[in-house]
Each structure stands twice: as structure tokens, then as C-alpha cells.
Structure 1
């Protein structure tokens, strides 16, 4: 090997080699087990970030490792020129457990949402009118980073600066039914929303809002799309969050925890809506490949079990009790947001805009957390994290809060 090939891997290499669209922490994780991660120096961290709600079963869960190993010795990829057994098995599980009749597999949440939005417009054009193309979305929403999905998302900071955006997209306030009534009409093809806004501060939809939007969509023959990329797969205490509201979407997207760390996503819909599609209208090279779907089956079967789903809200309450102990001492939080283990802690006014500071200081005390916007701390740990790990991680986090409070 050359001297260059033998050079040690350092964090400084990131700044030299990777497109500068991220600002990662200064340590490099090299190993994970359950809810613990170790860096290059052997230092151990408690993981409350979960890969941004991806590692729903922690790191290297034995069920997922077994599925990956077994499938890796059988079949990795054949493209969608051919089908494969794991894809059909995972599709059947999703259909059996939801409202859906049809599934489309892709690789990321953005791709699932791209497929959902294209389907919604195509359905409206084919069934009603070529002018029925309006998409209604909400401020502070996030639906991905493709140009279409980032334009539909309600955060201009992510979509500005790339030239003309896709047309016929309207953004209105979340949880404001009157705002929906003011803009929905016969030219609306779909309303897209997150039952819990993940990147937008962990605001949960109210039951009245979701029921009202459903009724308006029915009235104007518009499709209702639920983006459950972050809120789905057990994250909020049920397999999908819509099941807590009794409001059924026409299209649902899933990703992140669907593969437990392996890239996979899915768009779910009904037979009636999917009937407008035919070969060649949409597609993907890697979507539904057997390796991803085999891991997805293992993740699905493990998460969609009474012992996992039934424990999530109890773990949430433990997190909040621990956060409240910190809050009683340092007065840093005003409220707790989200559902289940999609948990947000909104910072007090004196700390507004400083969520990223909490994240950075927390890593120095060997605990990994997230932010959701500039003023909300986000906790999306493994759904099977132990009570002991929650308490230990919170002890470390308390030290970080103490340091920030003293500065």
C-alpha cells in the first residue's frame, strides 16, 4: 500500500473530501451496540439521536444482523426488471398492517415522497382535469431534499437559491383548518402533511385539524398524503401515527426506521389510486432490492410487536421525568412536544436559537442528541433503549446543561 493509503482517518479529512453541506461532530463513531456508540479513541457515548429516528432498534440489533447476513449470501440486487421474494414479503406485511393495497419501494424518504406527489398529480390529471395540480403544504414542514420535495416542504431556507421552483405549491400555517378552507378548491390535487412535524419543531397535529382536512379533501376530491417518514414505524407508540387519530390517508410514506439503519423507503396507497399507474410511469433502480427488503422484514417484525410498541409511551414518560429534574434545577425548557419517542423539549426564551449549542456540548459529555429547528431539542432514541440507559444518558446530559447554564 502507498503512504497515502496508510494515512490515519481523521475528522479533518471530512473538511477536505466531503461536499460541505454538513457540519458533523468532531468525533468519528466507529462501533455501535444497542444504544451505545464508541469513537476512534474508544470513548463511549449514549445515543439519544438514533441516526435521526432511523436506528429504531439501536445499533447492530441481532435480528437485523442475522437477516442481513443470511440475505447477503443469497441475492443482493436484480433491479425491477425482475421481482424478488423479500420485496413481496415486506409489501404483504405493510398491506396487512395498514389501510393500503399497494406498495412502491424506494431508498429514502425523499424518494417515497417524490413518488407520492407524482402519483397524486397523475391521479388528479387522469381522473379529473389537467388543471387539477395544486398541492397544499404547511409552514415548517419537511418532505425531503429532491427539488420537488424540498419545494413542497415549508422551509424556504432549504429550497431557495436553486432557481425556479416547481409551480402550483401553496404553503399555509399548520393546525389551521381555516387556512386550509381558504385555499383548497377544485384544482387541488392533494394536501400533504406530517402528523408530527419532525424537522419543524415536533408540533403534533390536533385531532380536529386532521379530521377537518380529511373532510375537505373528500369534498374537493383531493388526496390526503401523510408523510410518516419520521413519525412512523412505532416511533410514536403505534405502528403508524395516523392510527392514533382514526384518520386514514390516501397515500402514506415510510422510510427511516423501516430498515432500522439500512436504506429503504415505501409509499403506500389504495388499489383505486394506484390504478392510474402503469409500467414506465415511475421507477427506481434500487428500490425494493432483496437485501434492503430482507432487513426491512426483520425490522418490521421486531418493531410491530406488542412488547416493543407497548413500552414506548412509558419510555417517553421516563425521558420527561428526567428532563423535568434537569429543568427544575436550570429552568431551560418550557414544554415537551411530539409523541412517543419522537420527543421535543422546547427551550426557554433565554436559550432560543441555541439548540445546536446544546447538541454540541452534549457530545463533550458523551451523549448524542438532536435539534429540531433552532429552539427545540429532539430525542429519537432506539425504541428498545433500556431505562438504565435513559437515566445514564440523562445524567450526562445534565452536566452539559449545567455547563451551558453557567456560561
Structure 2
């Protein structure tokens, strides 16, 4: 089947030698678009570098701008829209819930938050993660009126975003350190270079990337940065004064860099030795993006964390974040230690719907199949465009990356990653960059093989154009 798909893909269309005319040009900017952008700029803070276009609607893996131009979206709102844009079932769940109850704060119980927490714990036990190996039967079916037996050692705290989830996890780690050592010495937090955990103050403090940190320094004290996959340095990095360690199993913003199984096992072992809390940030790589529920779920349990943070795809674009933790962590968090006004509100019923669909075995199989096709075709591009691309395809599942060769972020004799992304957009394809030289591919998890074919054709056209431009 895959060979047939690859054969079809290569016959989809031959790439153009040169791009003589853009199908979605940035310039000239339509007057109506320019007028709106200028109007909004007078009242809205926009710390973003945006192209001169206005998106108006979406459907599946496609979006359209106000001029009616269609784009193939391989950004998914930065790995958020797992079920695609304007999913009809998600819209119906939102509509039905909004008619009944939208907000009641955390002063009271509500069914939706409790059921989402229950479902997260249930599926984590079923598919593996946070101390549980995956069950041998991937789809156990409870009898009518019954539910799968739920362990009593996972708890969930809801927030509004990934940054908030990480803030909560860091606070919980600090609280555990205070209980372990009431003197206050056990307060240090360990993070890793090129990690990204958010832009709020605590999350930013463990985001060891100067471009994000320097404008806001000094940040919170007690942060010790290390190097991802440097197992030999862990004993010196993580000390008895360490209360928590935060790491992404696959660094997203940092360049699609995977933590090795050996490294995660050594992290787990060292955290146990000094009684530090191990936190996995799966905000971008979790919830089905790697072809399993959690990026770490298929690993042996001696590589698993104490806490797990999530957000992006959980409600398919509705803002939500969560921290899931083992019971020994939860027991140390007292009433009043943390809280939020909007977390745990009834719209969590949307997240429960999304989670149940992601966890269908056929859905996971589709993600793995799409990943296999996409990864093979990206590897082919590396082989066929050695003057532009280098290295192997990074990542797993549908969080993949290609490294641009000799990228210096300056327009000159060598094409830059920004040029590639701009040319792709002006030919109807939305892509992301990450790290210093990586093209990032994080489409909706529903992406089809034909959409992968379309994406490859456009990207190949861009690469061919740049290759020939260099040679001419």
C-alpha cells in the first residue's frame, strides 16, 4: 500500500523549474486587507511577524483568506488543531454545551471537568504513560454500564494553556521540595538548552533560549540549564538541591530534537536518587502526535515522569491546559496551594470528545500511516536537494523536521529558511520553522495521503526554484 502511495505521489505533478508567478502573492496587498491591518495596528499590540494576509475560515487541513485563496495548512495552529479546522462534531459539542452551562468557577463541582480527568487517567493507563506500560489489548471494551478500572494514583489539574500547565507543574515541584527539605535549600529547577516551556515568567525561566529570555532578564533564580542527551553530566547537574527537572521528550520549538531513551532513563534514575520531581512537557509532542497517546508512553516505565503537562490539541483549539501527576505528588498539594478561575470549566466536555476520538485505534493507525509516508518523502527530498537540505528527517509521527543547509537567516547567495517558508506560502502552503534551521511539519492529525502529496509537490517546486536560482 505504501509503495503504491509513493508511486502515486511521485506522479502527482512534476515540480516547476522556476516560479514565474505566485498563486498566492504577498504583494501587491489588496487595499481592503491593507486598510484593515493598518486600522488594527493602531489599537492591537502585535509582537508577531505576520504576512500581509487575513485568514477567514478553515475546513479540515485547508484554510482560506479574505480574498478567497485556499491554503494547505501544515501548521495546524502550531500543532493544535488535531482534528482539523471547523470539525463539525467539535462544533456541535461546543454548541450543545454552550446552551447548558459555560462557566461556574472552581468553587463548585461540574460533570465535565471530572469526566475529562477520569478519561485522561483511563486512556493513560490503557495506552501507557506516567508509570503505566501499555495494555496488551489496545481496545478493552467494558461491559454495558461499567467502566475500565481506574488506578487511584493519577490526578489532573486543569489550566488554560500550556504555559499555565507548566507554571503549575513547576510550583508543584517547588512545593514537593519544600516538604522534602523544610529548610528551603531544595528549590532548584533543571531545564535543557533549546527547550521551550512557555512565555510566562516561570515557564520562560526554564526556557533556556537567549532570544526569549534576554529581553526580560533577570528571571527567577535557582535555574540550572543542561544539555539534552548529555547523560554523563546529569549527576553534576541534578543535585540534592534540585526539586524538579523539566524536559520535552521531543523538543518542538528547539528544532525537533528527540531525547534518547538512555537519557530519559538516566534522568529518571537521577531524580529518584535525589528525590526530585521529573516533569515531561508533552504540550506539542503529546496527545497522539507521535502515533501514540503520549510520546513517552511506549517507553519502559523506568523512563516515565512524575508529572506530565499537556495543552495544544486537547480541545482542538479551545484554550485548555492540564497537569497530570502521580498520587505521591498530588498528596503534597493542599487546598489553596494553586488555583485558576477558568480551568476546569464545563467546556472541558469538548476536550473529552477530542480525546476519545484521538484514542480510537483506527485514528492512531492513520497517524502512523501518514507519518510513514511523509517521512519517506521528506527523506527523498533530502537526497534530491543536497545543496539545500542536510541531515536526516527529524522527529516521530507527525512532528517532523527538515534541516536547511547553510542557513544564516540572511538574504544572499544561500537560500534561507524564511525564504523557503515565504515561497511555500505564496504558492498555497503554510509551514513553520523552529530552532535555527529547521522546517517544521505539524499538520492536523487527520491529514490525508493526498494532502501529503500536495504538500510535497509544492515544497518540491519551491526547492527546485531555489536550486535553479542558485545555479543560474
Q: Same fold per TM (> 0.5)?
A: yes
Q: Are positions 1:230 and 2:291 aligned together?
A: no
Q: Hey, what's the Cα distance between the residues in 1 that align with 2:400 and 2:216?
A: 32
Report 1:73-92 matches (<5 A).
73-92=99-118
Counterpart of 2:352 in structure 1 is 297
1:355–1:373: 8 Å Cα contact kept in structure 2?
A: no
Q: Hey, what's the Cα distance between the residues in 1 that align with 2:282 and 2:383?
A: 34
Q: Are positions 1:271 and 2:327 aligned together?
A: yes
Tell me: CA distance 1:17–1:356, structure 2 relative to 1, closer, same or farther (3 Å): farther
2:190–2:245: 8 Å Cα contact kept in structure 1?
A: yes
The structure with the larger Rg is 2
TM-score w.r.t. structure 1 length? 0.94
Q: Hey, what's the Cα distance between the residues in 2 that align with 1:357 and 1:174?
A: 29
Report 1:245-394 matches (<5 A).
245-246=299-300, 247-291=303-347, 293-331=348-386, 332-334=388-390, 335-349=392-406, 351-353=407-409, 354-394=416-456
Q: Hey, what's the Cα distance between the residues in 2 that align with 1:248 and 1:177?
A: 16
Q: Hey, what's the Cα distance between the residues in 2 that align with 1:177 and 1:326?
A: 33
Q: Hey, what's the Cα distance between the residues in 2 that align with 1:379 and 1:12?
A: 31
TM-score w.r.t. structure 2 length? 0.82
Q: Hey, what's the Cα distance between the residues in 1 that align with 2:282 and 2:246?
A: 11
Pairwise CA distance, 1:128: 2.7
Counterpart of 2:28 in structure 1 is none
Counterpart of 1:162 in structure 2 is 216
1:365–1:399: 8 Å Cα contact kept in structure 2?
A: no
Pairwise CA distance, 1:325: 4.1
- 1:84-142 deviations in Å (ceiling 9; x for gaps): 11111100011112246111001100000000000000011023332101111100000
Q: Hey, what's the Cα distance between the residues in 1 that align with 2:352 and 2:78?
A: 20
- 1:320-360 deviations in Å (ceiling 9; x for gaps): 233244344432222211111011111123x3542222222
Tell me: CA distance 1:345–1:352, structure 2 relative to 1, closer, same or farther (3 Å): farther
Q: Hey, what's the Cα distance between the residues in 1 that align with 2:254 and 2:389?
A: 17
Counterpart of 1:107 in structure 2 is 160
SS of the counterpart of 2:344?
Answer: coil
Q: What residue ranges of structure 2 are gaps of 5+ in the alignment?
A: 1-31, 125-129, 131-152, 410-415
Between the two proteins, the alignment pairs up a number of residues equal to 399
1:365–1:396: 8 Å Cα contact kept in structure 2?
A: yes
Q: Are positions 1:25 and 2:51 aligned together?
A: yes
Pairwise CA distance, 1:297: 0.9
Pairwise CA distance, 1:315: 1.1
Counterpart of 1:142 in structure 2 is 196
Q: Hey, what's the Cα distance between the residues in 2 that align with 1:316 and 1:170?
A: 35
Counterpart of 1:122 in structure 2 is 175
Q: Hey, what's the Cα distance between the residues in 2 that align with 1:330 and 1:182?
A: 42
Pairwise CA distance, 1:143: 0.4
Pairwise CA distance, 1:376: 0.3
Q: Hey, what's the Cα distance between the residues in 2 that align with 1:358 and 1:16?
A: 31
Counterpart of 1:72 in structure 2 is 98
Tell me: CA distance 1:26–1:402, structure 2 relative to 1, closer, same or farther (3 Å): farther
Pairwise CA distance, 1:16: 3.4
Q: Hey, what's the Cα distance between the residues in 1 that align with 2:39 and 2:117?
A: 41
The Cα RMSD (Å) is: 1.6
Tell me: CA distance 1:86–1:141, structure 2 relative to 1, closer, same or farther (3 Å): same
Tell me: CA distance 1:322–1:14, structure 2 relative to 1, closer, same or farther (3 Å): farther
Tell me: CA distance 1:327–1:184, structure 2 relative to 1, closer, same or farther (3 Å): closer
Q: Are positions 1:174 and 2:228 aligned together?
A: yes
Counterpart of 1:4 in structure 2 is none
Q: What residue ranges of structure 1 are gaps of 5+ in the alignment?
A: 1-6
